[in-house]
Structure 1
Amino acid sequence: MEQGELVVRKSYGGDITFRVEQVHKDFAVIKGTDFRLVADSPIEDLTNVTETTLKRRSQQAQIKMLKSVEAVEELRRRQKERHWSEFEHATISSHQTSYFEVPGKVLHLDGDPNYLQKSMALYQQLRVPAEGHFVLEGNMADFLHRVLPVSRPDVVVITGHDGVLKGLRRRDLYNLQTYKNSQNFVNAILVARQYERNRDLLTIVAGACQSHFEALLQAGANFASSPGRVMIHALDPVNVAAKSAYTSIRDTVKIGDISPHTVTGIDGIGGIETRGSYRIGMPNWKDLSKIHVTPSVI
């Protein structure tokens, strides 16, 4: 077994594809290729993924993500058409249609550099203004304390790796100590809420695989994983953030409209209804190189 190899766990029926991150004497640290999960496993429990299996799983994951992206874009298109129609009839005559869009800005903190790269690519595809940072989960609270006043986002995504710990004498799912990083996510949310207490002015999307959903919401998150303590897809938080960024400030982001279009559904991410952060303005920005201006100041 070598670092970088693609493997599955035999004891779990080979349900998730992992990449080997570290190899020790008799166990390896492995990271999900599509799901936000880091685990350790006995080397004897790991088996390499065949090219056929890898290709099939990659295609399945890609199909799911394409469907998810298409659904988010369709929701956004319908929302924008309705928003613009209402705005147009209320303020201007029908022949005036010059306007510009101001979607919400996303600040995305990720405990995994590879997932961060994939997330930023999806934000770009969805035309969501986003700023991304690779920050280890334990450092996220301090990082937000320094960066939030500078970045001034509308949406904050706090994600990375998490999971229910193995080897506990008593597995209490109500206890934050049962989870790998849920306490770190809670700490980061509390800092964000100290910066902005109003949940409609700062939307927080938090959590990763199997995170303590209830604790994240109680700390101040608007949307969080994982109600069913399931593995969430690496890009599910991005889909929620994108929906918030392109939902009108006059409308609420309803989790019931989001969950069917995430890869892991309502067991993966839940939350509370929250106002969107999308605005439109008019008239559209002009090409200043074509405007003739008579100077008026000496």
Structure 2
Amino acid sequence: MFHVGDIVARLSHREDIFFHIEQITVNVDGERSAILKGLNFRLLADAPVSDLIVKRPIEVAGYEREDNKMIYQKLHKLTRQRKVGQDDQKDSFEIPGRVLQLDGDQDYLNQCIKTYRQMGIEAKGICKSEMEQPKVIRKILQENPADILVLTGHDGFISGKKDFHSNDSYRSSRYFVESVSEARRFQHNLDALVIFAGACQSNYEAILSAGANFASSPKRMLIHAFDPVFIVERIAFTPTDQIVSVKDILTHTITGTDGVGGVETRGQLRRGYPRSPY
């Protein structure tokens, strides 16, 4: 028997990704299916329960341990690089870009906001479903001034669809496109408000066309929950007089150029002088 909240993997995908069961449905023929949410990838999927296997606690612990190790290595590398730059600016102070993140997943949002703050980035997180985001984004931006906006949650290319350019082929891409469009009506300048939008397998071209600086997913791949965080860190700590190297910023993500991409963007770090002794 399967239950909501169980951690499972799909046999047909060689148990490559672990999921939470979000919902179990039964069709008119009595066949049971499950709506699945990725444990560390921003993916929504469905699968017949016959394709699922429950993962034991020891397997889940090992899976999360490997994921945490990968995240730590990325964060450690970014922090080390930033410290080298700060050593040359001992008499000055830094104000990194402020972040506003709307996320359809409260668990992922909490993890991201915690990590931003650990890195010294001022961040505000608001949990709104992908469907709600276009309706509230302008009001939220008015009430929460930010330099960097992250719009994410869960997405996925719908099984059986063939048109990669149609938003109807995706679970949430149309909402990310609409949200970016609304945000650009509020602030059209790509350097005054830097936007990352999308989730797993999202309609990359449509999101960029709507006005995002960075988006997922060029090759309709899965993206890690922390991919937006690594992109934001580079933007927030790149000085305003410098253009962020797109190729460089993508090397710091987990899924790389298959999962995320973007356009040249000005950094959001402001340096001040002198540093106060207090």
Q: With structure 1 as the length reference, what TM-score do the two structures score?
A: 0.87
TM superposition shift of 1:52: 3.6
Match of 1:93 in 2: none
TM superposition shift of 1:114: 0.8
Match of 1:88 in 2: none
1:112 aligns with 2:113: no
Match of 1:167 in 2: 160
User: Are the equivalent residues in 2 in contact too, given 1:179–1:212 (CA < 8 A)?
Assistant: yes
Gaps of 5+ in 2: 27-31
Match of 1:292 in 2: none
Alpha-carbon separation, structure 2, partners of 1:70 and 1:165: 36
Match of 2:29 in 1: none
C-alpha distance after superposition, 1:173-212 (max 9, x if no partner): 0111111111100111111111111111110011100011
When residues 285 and 144 of structure 1 are mapped into structure 2, their CA distance, relative to the original with a 3 A threshold, is farther
Alpha-carbon separation, structure 1, partners of 2:8 and 2:236: 36
> 1:213 is matched with which residue: 193, 204, 220?
204
TM superposition shift of 1:71: 2.4
Alpha-carbon separation, structure 1, partners of 2:84 and 2:209: 32
Counterpart AA for 1:195: F
User: Are the equivalent residues in 1 in contact too, given 2:231–2:252 (CA < 8 A)?
Assistant: no
Match of 2:4 in 1: 3
Match of 1:239 in 2: 230
Match of 1:51 in 2: 57
| Equivalences for residues 280-291 of structure 1 within 5 A | 280-285=271-276, 287=278
Q: Structure 1 residue runs of 4+, over 3 Å off?
A: 78-82
TM superposition shift of 1:254: 1.6
> 1:75 is matched with which residue: 73, 81, 91?
81
C-alpha distance after superposition, 1:203-247 (max 9, x if no partner): 001110001111111111111111111110001111111211111
Match of 1:198 in 2: 189
TM superposition shift of 1:99: 2.8
Alpha-carbon separation, structure 1, partners of 2:21 and 2:172: 20
Secondary structure (helix, strand or coil) at the match of 2:62 reads helix
Counterpart AA for 2:14: G
User: Are the equivalent residues in 2 in contact too, given 1:67–1:261 (CA < 8 A)?
Assistant: no
C-alpha distance after superposition, 1:56-107 (max 9, x if no partner): 211211111111112222333344456x3xxxxxxxxxxxx54321110000
1:187 aligns with 2:178: yes
Gaps of 5+ in 1: 85-96, 288-298
Alpha-carbon separation, structure 2, partners of 1:258 and 1:113: 26
User: Are the equivalent residues in 1 in contact too, given 2:21–2:37 (CA < 8 A)?
Assistant: yes
Alpha-carbon separation, structure 1, partners of 2:150 and 2:85: 22
1:42 aligns with 2:43: no
Deviation larger for 21-30 or 274-283: 21-30
User: Are the equivalent residues in 2 in contact too, given 1:76–1:243 (CA < 8 A)?
Assistant: no
Alpha-carbon separation, structure 2, partners of 1:80 and 1:250: 16
Match of 2:168 in 1: 177
Match of 1:267 in 2: 258
User: Are the equivalent residues in 2 in contact too, given 1:79–1:247 (CA < 8 A)?
Assistant: no
Match of 2:95 in 1: 102
Alpha-carbon separation, structure 1, partners of 2:57 and 2:153: 28
Match of 1:33 in 2: 39
C-alpha distance after superposition, 1:246-279 (max 9, x if no partner): 1100111122112222111111111111100101
The number of residue pairs the alignment matches comes to 272
Deviation larger for 72-81 or 133-142: 72-81
1:143 aligns with 2:149: no
Match of 1:293 in 2: none
Secondary structure (helix, strand or coil) at the match of 2:45 reads strand
When residues 78 and 182 of structure 1 are mapped into structure 2, their CA distance, relative to the original with a 3 A threshold, is farther
Q: With structure 2 as the length reference, what TM-score do the two structures score?
A: 0.93
Alpha-carbon separation, structure 2, partners of 1:152 and 1:11: 45
